[in-house]
Every structure is written in C-alpha cells, then in structure tokens.
C-alpha cells in the first residue's frame, strides 16, 4: 500500500517530508495489519495459553533476554549475564521504564519473576523457564543485578528467561493481577489502545515514544517503525488468504490448501517457520478409560497411519511426526521413528484379539462385557479432515467411536474433564527445547489432563536438565526421555503443520518461534 508522493507532499506542505519518505525515514512507516489464527486467552504473560497471547506479550512486555527463531540468545532488559548449572546473574539496563512511568529496577524484575511461579498465579508454563524443583530470585538495586537460582540443575534457564511467560510485569500489574486479562502492565515497545480494540475481533497496538532499550538494539524511533499494528483475529485460512491477496492484511500465517495461490502472488513474500512441536494424540490414562490399557494404546498407534493424518490435516504441506518435538529442536531424537509399528487396522484388531478382546454381534470388540468405546475430540479448524480419518481408522480396528468436533477454545475446556478418551493436541511451543512437553505428561493436576505417570521419562528428563547445554550427555538423556513416552505410547505424535508467514512487499519481520512473529521487528518501508 504505497502512498503517492504528490499526495504526501500536498498534505505535508514540505519538500523535506518527501525526502524523508524516499530515504526510508519515519514517514515511510504506516499502520501494519497482522492476521492471527485465534484470539488470546489472556494478556497476562504468565497465564496466557495461546500462541497469539505470546505474540501480544512480545511487544507489550520486556524480558531479561531475547531469542531468535534459530535459538540465538541476545540482550533484552539485561546487558550481560553469567550462568552455572543452577543459577544465572543478569546485569540490567538502567533506562527501561514501564508504560506508566515506573522505572524497571532489579527489584521490579525480581518481584515479577517470583510471582510467575507463585502458587496463586498458577502459570501453566513457568516450569519451562525455571524447572519444577523451585527457585528463588534476588534483585540488587545497588548493583543493578538480578540473580535467579533454581533448587536443582536446570540447563534451560537462560532460554527460559527469553520466553513470553517470563515477561516482566510492572508493579501496577502485580498489585492488580486480575486486570491483566485485558490491561497489560509492561515496559515493552508497544501499548494496547483499548479505544481501537474489540475483544475477539481486532486489537490496536501503538509504539511508545522514547522506547530505546529493546532487544537487539531495537528503538521505536527506528526507520520504518509502524505507526500502529492492528491485530486481526481471522480463524479461517481461506479468509485470511483472501485478505492477504486483497491487501487488507499485510502479514500473517496461513496453512493448508491456500498456500499455492499465496506463493504465486508476486506482491507477497513467503517465510517458512521452524517446527518446534508436533500435534499429538493425548490418550486418557485414568482408570475406567479403555486407553488406560497400554495394549489398547499400541493398537491405536497401529491402526492410525500418521502419514494419512498429515495429508488429511495439512493437505500434504506438513510433516509426519516421530516425536513430540520437531527436527528443528536441539536434541530431537531420530531413533524414535523406528518405534512406530507399521500402520494396519487389521493388525491392530489382531493385537487386541490376542489380548482377550472379541468381536460382539455388532462387530465391535469387547472384553469382560465392556465394548471398546472411544470418545474422540477433534478440531477441524486446525486439523481439517484428520479427525474424520482417525474416526474411520479406529472403527476399522474394531472400536465404537464417538467423534465430537469442537473449536480449539472448546476443546481446551474439555481437557480437565473426564468426558473424553482421546484428544488431538496442537502442540506448538515457542521454545526450542524437549522440556516443553513436561507439563502435559507429568505431575498431578496442572495440564497433565491424560494423567500420565512415566518415571522413565522423568528420570531421563532430570538427567538432561542437570547437564549443561553444550554437554553431549544432554541430548543422550533427552533421547531417552522421548523414547520413554513412546514405549507404551503414552502419547501418539501425529504431524506438524509447517507454518508459512506471508508478508506484503515492503513489510519485513523476524520470527521468535514457529507461530510467533516478533512484533517489535516489524518494519514497513512501502
């Protein structure tokens, strides 16, 4: 959407204005409209559950460190840092200021990081940043340092301090945490303009004048900085593709069958995002569920052709999973590929018959008078026809299957209930670490909705986290952890949708994770 020079010159009345536009100065900037695939659950960075919440947090708040999509760490609020196996000390910049004018001191940072993992906060992903053994944070205002010490060795600590849920909440937000749902309280480069935002539809972010302490040297006075960012919630990929082609959206992710026509549009550029996490099937381990039986879970893994799931879900644009993490994550274990049985519903049926199941008059397998009835939850908005394929594969195995298709938000509310046996989980963490799955597969309560208890996974995980990031043993143990979850198919990895970000010509940006555009890096030069 290039502005005409004659129009700009007429309204500005200044030849200087035209010269600044030609040179790529501030007048070259404009409002940039971004598509997100779903609404955020909260603007509280410690509590938000969604990728779109992470993206909002990335510019409403600052973090101690910054991370690029390839895992490179850089300074955020911290100018330098020193780390051991169980601690890290950060020296802070001294010019950061909250949006309400409060200075960001070490004490402010320490209070926010302490609150992140407080019991009353109930932050779902805090363990990814500080581990599960507990930790302490001390801010030294005289020395301008913050020290984070974990109660057990934790090799992901530095990476964790760059994650969205580790964002620093300013004192006003800590004093009224319930308001953080829709009222951010941070020191980031943008603020939310509530007067130009409608919940569930669009949000307007405006840059803060004078912000000059950003990651990688970012300042809101940088050339090409948008005058505003409008975040539009567009659930449907075809609708999003149409809006990109029409010029109503400048930047955003698209998956599925619309990729070809977007890639053919000369006004758009395509950027492939890395793959950190894979969709996997959660299977309920609680007593009374058929999937509590390891033999049933192995039969399910045999009945389902993961290549077919990938084609049904991504129209062939994704990749088939062999672990819960993707091949772009350090310590991804390629040996997991050999742990999957050849897909064959008849072989799955034979496996169950050998375990004492027998076909009833209706053809459905039963054991001890109980039919093999499976309640499956899918979400076509991100899985397309994959739930229907899984339904047919399980029926061919001999199960009686009830499929309930829901939106992602509806499916998320089902997790804590007991009213399901299998759920397809869109696992797309913004953190390139094998530890990201831990909350889903261990612990009581929390997000371990499947009630998984796998001591072998936890033992290997503890050893991996005790090893320094550059240790060869670290990947050895993470490999053992990935294999432990597949031994009895506690979860069933399925596929990953390879996200492609499309931008109109003249719009540049950087990713901080597969689904997460770093909004602070967006620049508009046309």
pLDDT tens-digit series, residues 436-493: 999 999 998 788 999 999 999 999 999 999 987 777 899 999 999 999 999 999 999 9
Portion of the chain with pLDDT greater than 70, in percent: 94
Q: How far apart are CA 416 and CA 424, in angstroms?
A: 14
Q: Are residues 303 and 393 in contact, defined by beta-carbon separation less than 8 angstroms?
A: yes
Q: How far, rounded to the nearest angstrom, does the alpha carbon of residue 110 sit from its chain's CA centroid?
A: 25
Portion of the chain with pLDDT greater than 90, in percent: 73
Residue-wise pLDDT tens digits, 477-503? 999 999 999 999 999 999 998 889 999
The reported pLDDT for the residue numbered 1 is 35
Superfamily the domain 62-180 falls into: Dipeptide-binding Protein; Domain 1 (3.90.76.10)
Can you tell me the mean pLDDT for 112-136?
A: 91
Model-wide pTM > 0.85: no
pLDDT band at 29, cuts 50/70/90? low
Query: Per CATH, is 25-61+188-273+515-526 categorized as 3.40.630.30?
Result: no
Residue-wise pLDDT tens digits, 502-516? 999 999 999 887 768
Q: Are residues 14 and 22 in contact, defined by beta-carbon separation less than 8 angstroms?
A: no
Can you tell me the mean pLDDT for 348-359?
A: 97
Taking 50 as the threshold, does the pLDDT of residue 28 lie above it?
Answer: no
Would you report the helix, strand and coil content of the chain in percent, each value rounded to 5? 35, 25, 45
Q: Specify the DSSP element, H or E, that contains 518.
A: strand 517-524
- Domain positions in the chain are 25-61+188-273+515-526, 62-180, 279-496
Can you tell me the mean pLDDT for 365-394?
A: 94
Taking 80 as the threshold, does the pLDDT of residue 168 lie above it?
Answer: yes
Dihedral sign for Cα 481, 484, 486, 489, please.
Answer: negative
The reported pLDDT for the residue numbered 23 is 35
Contacts of 40 (CB under 8 A, 6+ apart): 48, 50, 52, 53, 56
The reported pLDDT for the residue numbered 22 is 34
Burial of 31 (0-12, 13-18, 19+ CB in 10 A): middle
DSSP letters spanning 3-47: PPHHHHHHHH--HHHHHHHHTT-GGG--EEEEEESS--S-S-TTT
CATH of 279-496, one of 3.10.105.10, 3.90.1150.10, 1.20.1560.10, 3.40.50.1400: 3.10.105.10
Q: Are residues 509 and 33 in contact, defined by beta-carbon separation less than 8 angstroms?
A: no
Of 263, 234, 262, the closest CA to residue 34 belongs to 234
Same fold, 25-61+188-273+515-526 and 62-180: no
User: How big is the CA angle at 161 (ends 273 and 103), to the nearest 5 degrees?
Assistant: 120
Can you tell me the mean pLDDT for 202-208?
A: 97
Taking 80 as the threshold, does the pLDDT of residue 6 lie above it?
Answer: no
The reported pLDDT for the residue numbered 391 is 98
Taking 90 as the threshold, does the pLDDT of residue 27 lie above it?
Answer: no
**Which tokens belong to 420?**
């399901």
Can you tell me the mean pLDDT for 330-355?
A: 97
Q: Are residues 200 and 232 in contact, defined by beta-carbon separation less than 8 angstroms?
A: no
The reported pLDDT for the residue numbered 15 is 32
């Amino acid at each position: 959407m290039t502005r005409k020079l004659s129009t700009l010159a007429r309204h500005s009345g200044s030849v200087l204005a035209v010269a600044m536009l030609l040179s790529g100065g501030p007048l070259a900037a404009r409002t940039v409209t971004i598509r997100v695939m779903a609404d955020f659950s909260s603007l509280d960075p410690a509590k938000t559950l969604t990728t779109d919440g992470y993206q909002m947090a990335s510019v409403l708040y600052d973090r101690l460190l910054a991370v690029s999509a390839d895992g490179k760490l850089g300074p955020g609020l911290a100018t330098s840092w020193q780390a051991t196996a169980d601690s890290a000390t950060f020296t802070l910049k001294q010019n950061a200021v909250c949006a309400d004018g409060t200075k960001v001191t070490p004490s402010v940072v320490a209070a926010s990081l302490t609150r992140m993992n407080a019991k009353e906060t109930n932050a779902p992903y805090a363990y990814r940043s500080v581990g599960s053994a507990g930790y302490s944070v001390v801010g030294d205002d005289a020395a301008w340092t913050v020290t984070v010490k974990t109660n057990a060795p934790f090799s992901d600590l530095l990476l964790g301090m760059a994650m969205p849920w580790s964002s620093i909440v300013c004192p006003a937000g800590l004093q009224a945490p319930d308001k953080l749902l829709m009222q951010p309280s941070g020191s980031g480069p943008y603020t939310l303009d509530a007067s130009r935002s409608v919940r569930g539809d669009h949000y307007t972010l405006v840059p803060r004048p004078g912000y000059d302490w950003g990651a990688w040297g970012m300042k809101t006075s940088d050339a090409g900085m948008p005058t505003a960012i409008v975040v539009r919630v567009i659930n449907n990929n075809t609708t999003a593709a149409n809006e990109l082609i029409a010029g109503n959206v400048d930047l955003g992710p698209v998956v599925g069958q619309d990729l070809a026509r977007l890639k053919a549009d000369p006004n758009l550029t395509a950027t492939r995002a890395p793959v950190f996490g894979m969709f996997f099937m959660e299977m309920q381990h609680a007593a009374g569920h058929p999937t509590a039986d390891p033999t049933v879970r192995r039969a399910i893994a045999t009945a389902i052709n993961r290549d077919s799931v990938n084609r049904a879900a991504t129209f062939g644009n994704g990749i088939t999973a062999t672990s819960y993490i993707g091949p772009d994550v350090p310590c991804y274990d390629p040996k997991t590929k050999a742990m999957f049985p050849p897909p064959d519903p008849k072989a799955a049926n034979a496996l169950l018959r050998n375990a004492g199941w027998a076909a009833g008059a209706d053809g459905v397998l039963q054991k001890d008078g109980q039919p093999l009835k499976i309640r499956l939850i899918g979400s076509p908005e991100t899985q397309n026809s994959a739930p229907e394929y899984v339904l047919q594969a399980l029926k061919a195995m001999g199960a009686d299957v009830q499929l309930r298709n829901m939106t992602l938000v509806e499916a998320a509310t089902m997790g804590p209930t007991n009213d399901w046996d299998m759920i397809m989980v869109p696992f797309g963490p913004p953190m390139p670490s094998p530890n990201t799955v831990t909350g889903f597969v261990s612990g009581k309560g929390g997000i371990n909705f499947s009630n998984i208890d796998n001591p072998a996974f936890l033992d290997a995980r503890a050893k991996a986290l005790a090893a320094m990031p550059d240790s060869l043993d670290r990947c050895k143990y993470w490999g053992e952890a990935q294999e432990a979850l597949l031994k009895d198919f506690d979860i069933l990895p399925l596929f990953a949708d390879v996200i492609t970000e499309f931008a109109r010509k003249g719009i540049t940006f950087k990713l901080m994770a597969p689904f997460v555009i770093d909004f602070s890096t967006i620049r508009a030069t046309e």
